Structure 1
Amino acid sequence: MKALIHRRIPGTWGGSLATDVYLPDGPGPFPVVLERTPYHRRGLETLAPRFVEAGYAYVTQDCRGKYDSDGLFMPLVHEAEDGATSLDWIAEQSWCNGRIGMWGRSYHGIVQIPAAMAQHPALRCIAPSVAPGSFFRDWLRYDGCFALGNALRWGLTHATCRTQPAMSHFSWDELHRLQGIDQIATRTGFATPCLSDWVGHDTYDDYWSALDQDHMYGRVTVPGMHAGGWFDHLTRTQYEAYRAITDRGGSDAARNGQRLMIGPWGHQSISTRGESHTRYGDWDFGSAADLDVMDHELRFLNLHLQDRDDGIADEPPVKVFLMGENRWVDLEDWPVPTAIVEDWDLAGGPAGSSDDWGSLRPDGSAAPGERVFVYDPADPVPTLGGAVYWGLEQRGPVDQRPNLKRSDVLSYRSNPLPRSLTVIGDIELSLHIACDREDTDIVARLCVEEPGGAVISLSLGSLRCRYRDDPTSATPLEADTPTALRLRLGQIAYTFAPGSRIVLSVTGSDFPRILPHPNRIAPLFEGDPLIARTKILHGGQYPSRLHLPVVEGL
């Protein structure tokens, strides 16, 4: 292997991008894999042998404004321009045979769709994984709720300056108590322009639209391999990119060439060679989960960059890990065309019950009624597992019983299931609520209660109520007036075993995953908090229902 270190690619703005190149032995030219990063390209050199052994020239690059590259780092702002510039430079090199692919995870994946928009003739495929398509909806807000764990943990670690992380200056509790985002600059001694923008633009507007990839998918003309994990907070994006490019990509090659792979992993726990990740959270998924995702991605790259087909061209385009049964299943599409949505009504507990549980009923028998929780922003429900960012200690499938004991968490469960139930697809929750404040957050989790009593989180979602109809405009709640909500609780592929129970929890907070809502409409980190009293209505005129896509015959 030969290394060409610290090459400079001239940028259109007058600066240059620091770039390293790793070449196979031999005369070349070679197909190329490009990976762009804000986390320092030198940290990627351990991947070089894997690509070089497969016959690729491997090119790594610091994003604009990070480490050795010139300019100012503004997340997502320059990636289309700099991606196209980099493709031009690579295609002109004597060691490039004119066929380039892009590969990478998280932010390394984000940069690929903008680069593909240029429709560069040398770019033949992309392989983004665990990458957000909408910075607003998937990364910095969760359907309106400010994603504190993402925005400030990632922003203070990676987006504030060229090399220095600022997260060490703050604890989670201190971030909760910030009185305005300017306090960050005061404490750290340097400005955080992107954080100020992220906080200041609390409603979806032109600022966010310019960064989103939703409008880019129709201009993608190359095949793509999209990988993610059931417990990664960005799984929705992997599905949406696959679906959107399949439906409206800019060429037949793009529309017919998308692939999707979702396993039992989190954002940073995708299994690769030498890094077994069969266990996540409280669950061990067995040997089937120990799949080398990079090997699967290399098969895809080989097909499109080297015309090497080991059978992957004839494989179904979607591959997901079916939790509960702990096996991989191949699917012809996503969502599963044969899935049938089953509705489970939220209801009060069984007559004579001595516990505080509500019930989930599949037969539409919920009687009119209500249950109430009181949310105090000074005492938020702590984040406990789920599809959350790496900055939180407990992630993935984690026992929820400590939180279910709280008086501000409402819980609903089914009777023990008489037979297995396989759920694959998008989980949604329709609620009717009545709150005594002009705005509040609703957080819900789908769980399974195992026969031994553990209640394990499978998926979760949240909604800032004033954005229930439209993320671009706020509609305050009318105090104590029944209001319909629709929450998206993520995606799963899970088989509930006979004897287990379906469990749903509903509350008003999830800290530090989301910033505790002050229960009033005010700029983020401002406004005196209020206590909110929220009713969950059920039955009769105001039904509340959990919607599960059920699949049989797999």
Structure 2
Amino acid sequence: MSFGTRGLLTALALFSLSGTAVAQSSATPPKSAADPDAERAAYIRSHYAKYEVRIPMRDGVKLFTTFYVPTDASPQKRYPVLLMRTPYSVGPYGAGQYKQTLATAAFEKDGFIFAFQDVRGRFMSEGEFVNMRPHRDTKRGKEVDESSDTYDTIDWLTKRVPNNNGRVGMWGVSYPGFYSSAGAIDSHPALKAVSPQAPIADWFWDDMHRHGALNLQLSFSFFSSFGKPRPAPTDDVDWKPFDFGTPDAYQFFLDLGPVSNADAKHFHGDIAFWNEIVAHPNYDAFWQARNLLPHLKNIKAAVMVVGGWYDTEDLYGPLHTYAAIEKQNPGIANTLVMGPWPHGGWMRSSGTSLGDADFGFPTSTTYQDLVLAFFQQHLKGGPDAGAPEALVFEGGANRWRRLDAWPPKGTKPTRLYFQPQGALTFQAPTATAPSFDEYVSDPAKPVPYTQDLSPGWSKAYMTEDQRFAARRPDVLVYQTEPLQKDLTVAGPLEAELWVSTTGSDADWVVKLVDVNPGKVPGFTKEQEQSGEHNRGSQQTLVRGEPFRGRFRDSYSEPKAFTPNEVTKVRFVINDVFHTFQRGHRLMVQVQSSWFPFIDRNPQTFVPNINEAKPTDFVRAMHRVHHSMAEPSALKVNVLPALDEP
């Protein structure tokens, strides 16, 4: 959902179906005829006719919609409609102004009627925009939500667009992924295939928060521009990025001070939704109403949910959207695709590598071929796409796996126990005396989440080498001995921490890390001399998750810590599928800040943490305990090897 501030126009117009298309103004300079992008744009101009319409909804509000029809469409050659609904603009506006891309080149050449719609209250559409508009299970008369707007749009398109074949598909990435999910509810009979990609499912876990901890950098960067009011329909897509005044995001957000300063210092009351975020720090009715998952019912279309293992914005969304659709719509075709990608990376990159991780081959091609076959099957009567229940990429081993369930069947719950001297073992602690590690957590010097200082959102931090963090005194490090055989972890993780603090509030960040051996097999002296990156001893992040400790008993009713009292903190961490190879080590890092990804916990309990004052921010001594009575651990699910009984 969020794309930082670099290239904000790209962010706001992003994902014209594929995640690659950007609304370009008529002032965009022409490209060289030899430029492949120019050739592709020329192909669209010569093979598609563009139309702009205003489609009335059941309450009378008209939604601005553009669609591109293949020029050879006729009663003898009808095409299906592929719809994307977006808050990021369907521009460029004007019948003679064409998008540079409509989807992937393969989709464009295969031929679809590509339809794009500004959701209500955005850009050229009428009505009021509501962020993550709550779904109405029971609608009467002219009551609307995103499901009804989708239904009315599909009904109009299938009845009015010439030479359509009566079948509609829907897709979108991130916020458009949410609209795809919402549009599948109580499906229109013509809706045959839906692909929610990196869909927002619940903003208390997607994008805005992580277990109640505010995603500061993303929220601030995104809403500082996206959140500006639009009092009337407009075709102005010239969004200006927020001026941080420095290339150093860490310093900017440190200087910002408490979250409560953001409006007074920068927004000046102009960003209404930011103020709503600040006013609702807990999982109250405001956020609960924006949880789409319980409403994903009465879906008749085939579904392909897509996500990336390294999607920092929306990893929770696709995993839980797939699970909710699977549970609440028995019998429909429902596929999960998870690859080694950042947000939208399956369409915007080859997927060969990300940051400090190398996957060995272009992983995105596998998905791109499958999703085209998926829509061909359900919208054009093409051959069976062969979509499995789950197509998932296994990191570490760097291979695709086709599974009949996700999480995979047959995994064995296993705990990695913290031990003295930084050891990590599969055996529970045996010490009967108190045993713990401790560190000083100082809000004035929070642990950075990345070495990338730029204000724009770091896409590669989820695979970043963690040695920069492991060497800090306020980060605890536990690691196994080198593995004697490969170990595959699949499915959700669960942190089980026994902690205490001298403060009355605290965050706990748990990271699972893959540690390379000191000498990586196959790396030659010639490669090193040529300057190729030597990954020996690299600590590659596999998964990290913060937890706001005040929510350990309830996300709706926060609770202070009693200073120096040992307390159990337990929380689920998003799924992984990763093989730690023989000779590697498993490492777990524990810390209490991850800045500026996560806002700083003042470590003094206040009723609304978003309204904490500078005087509430205090240093605290945190302890992580690991005795027989207080066995801190990370619970993982191990997938047995093929040669194991």
Selected match of 1:34 from 83, 88, 96: 83
Q: d(CA) in 1 for partners of 2:547 and 2:381? A: 46
Selected match of 1:492 from 571, 576, 585: 576
One-letter code aligned to 2:102? L
Matched, 1:473 2:549: no
Matched, 1:98 2:166: yes
Selected match of 1:222 from 278, 288, 301: 301
Q: Which moved more, 1:521-530 or 1:503-512?
A: 521-530
Matched, 1:432 2:507: no
- Specify whether residues 219 and 148 from structure 1 end up closer, same or farther in structure 2 by C-alpha distance, changes over 3 A only: farther
Q: d(CA) in 1 for partners of 2:451 and 2:351? A: 17
SS of alignment partner, residue 27 of structure 1: coil
Contact 1:160 1:191 in 2 (8 A): yes
* 1:246 aligned residue: 326
* 1:128 aligned residue: 196
Q: d(CA) in 2 for partners of 1:160 and 1:526? A: 25
* 2:281 aligned residue: 202
* 1:168 aligned residue: 243
Contact 2:225 2:241 in 1 (8 A): yes
Give how far 1:478 is off: 1.6
Q: d(CA) in 2 for partners of 1:393 and 1:238? A: 18
Name stretches of at least 5 consecutive residues in structure 1 with no aligned partner: 350-357
Give how far 1:152 is off: 1.5
Give the TM-score normalised by the residue count of structure 2: 0.78
SS of alignment partner, residue 309 of structure 1: coil
Matched, 1:374 2:446: no
One-letter code aligned to 2:65? T
Matched, 1:19 2:65: yes
- Specify whether residues 170 and 438 from structure 1 end up closer, same or farther in structure 2 by C-alpha distance, changes over 3 A only: farther
Selected match of 1:530 from 601, 615, 618: 618
SS of alignment partner, residue 287 of structure 1: coil
SS of alignment partner, residue 495 of structure 1: strand
Contact 1:398 1:457 in 2 (8 A): yes
Matches within 5 A, 1:323-338: 323-338=395-410
Q: d(CA) in 1 for partners of 2:459 and 2:172? A: 24
One-letter code aligned to 1:2? Y
Question: Could you say which structure has the higher strand fraction?
Answer: 1
Contact 2:350 2:362 in 1 (8 A): no
CA deviations on 1:271-292 (whole Å, 9 max, x unpaired) are: 56xx423010112211152425
Q: d(CA) in 1 for partners of 2:221 and 2:123? A: 19
SS of alignment partner, residue 325 of structure 1: coil
One-letter code aligned to 1:526? A
Q: d(CA) in 1 for partners of 2:127 and 2:426? A: 58
Q: State the Cα RMSD in Å.
A: 2.4
Matched, 1:291 2:370: no
One-letter code aligned to 2:129? F
Q: Which moved more, 1:453-462 or 1:228-237?
A: 228-237
CA deviations on 1:379-421 (whole Å, 9 max, x unpaired) are: 11001289xx971264231111111111111110011111111
Q: d(CA) in 2 for partners of 1:479 and 1:428? A: 25
Matches within 5 A, 1:233-382: 233=312, 234-249=314-329, 252-253=331-332, 257-271=333-347, 275-287=349-361, 289-312=363-386, 315-349=387-421, 358-367=422-431, 368-382=434-448
Contact 2:260 2:612 in 1 (8 A): no
Matches within 5 A, 1:41-52: 41-42=90-91, 45-47=100-102, 50-52=106-108
CA deviations on 1:253-298 (whole Å, 9 max, x unpaired) are: 2xxx1101111111132256xx423010112211152425233212
Q: d(CA) in 2 for partners of 1:203 and 1:117? A: 27
Contact 2:227 2:272 in 1 (8 A): no
Q: d(CA) in 1 for partners of 2:265 and 2:623? A: 41
Give how far 1:12 is off: 4.5
Q: d(CA) in 1 for partners of 2:369 and 2:90? A: 21
Q: d(CA) in 2 for partners of 1:377 and 1:186? A: 20
- Specify whether residues 525 and 453 from structure 1 end up closer, same or farther in structure 2 by C-alpha distance, changes over 3 A only: farther
- Specify whether residues 76 and 170 from structure 1 end up closer, same or farther in structure 2 by C-alpha distance, changes over 3 A only: farther
CA deviations on 1:66-87 (whole Å, 9 max, x unpaired) are: 2222334332225334323322
One-letter code aligned to 1:213? L
**How many residues matched?**
536
Q: Which moved more, 1:174-183 or 1:414-423?
A: 174-183
Q: Which moved more, 1:69-78 or 1:222-231?
A: 69-78
- Specify whether residues 487 and 189 from structure 1 end up closer, same or farther in structure 2 by C-alpha distance, changes over 3 A only: closer
One-letter code aligned to 1:339? T
Selected match of 2:118 from 62, 68, 79: 62
Q: d(CA) in 2 for partners of 1:309 and 1:385? A: 48
Selected match of 1:79 from 146, 151, 157: 146
Overall identity of the aligned pairs, in %: 29
- Specify whether residues 31 and 129 from structure 1 end up closer, same or farther in structure 2 by C-alpha distance, changes over 3 A only: same
Matched, 1:137 2:217: no
Q: d(CA) in 2 for partners of 1:15 and 1:186? A: 36
* 1:541 aligned residue: 629
Q: d(CA) in 1 for partners of 2:269 and 2:469? A: 38
One-letter code aligned to 1:39? Y
Give how far 1:360 is off: 0.5
- Specify whether residues 271 and 396 from structure 1 end up closer, same or farther in structure 2 by C-alpha distance, changes over 3 A only: farther
Q: d(CA) in 1 for partners of 2:371 and 2:116? A: 17
Q: d(CA) in 2 for partners of 1:220 and 1:146? A: 32
One-letter code aligned to 1:121? P
Q: d(CA) in 2 for partners of 1:124 and 1:170? A: 48
SS of alignment partner, residue 297 of structure 2: helix
Q: d(CA) in 2 for partners of 1:479 and 1:190? A: 37
* 1:447 aligned residue: 513
Contact 1:430 1:485 in 2 (8 A): yes
Contact 1:438 1:477 in 2 (8 A): yes
Give the TM-score normalised by the residue count of structure 1: 0.91
One-letter code aligned to 2:469? N
Give how far 1:463 is off: 0.8
* 2:475 aligned residue: 409
CA deviations on 1:89-116 (whole Å, 9 max, x unpaired) are: 2122243332111111111111112222
Give how far 1:330 is off: 0.7
Contact 1:380 1:509 in 2 (8 A): yes
One-letter code aligned to 2:116? T
Q: Which moved more, 1:7-16 or 1:55-64?
A: 7-16
One-letter code aligned to 2:74? P
Matches within 5 A, 1:104-119: 104-119=172-187
One-letter code aligned to 1:71? G
Selected match of 1:502 from 581, 586, 608: 586
- Specify whether residues 330 and 208 from structure 1 end up closer, same or farther in structure 2 by C-alpha distance, changes over 3 A only: same
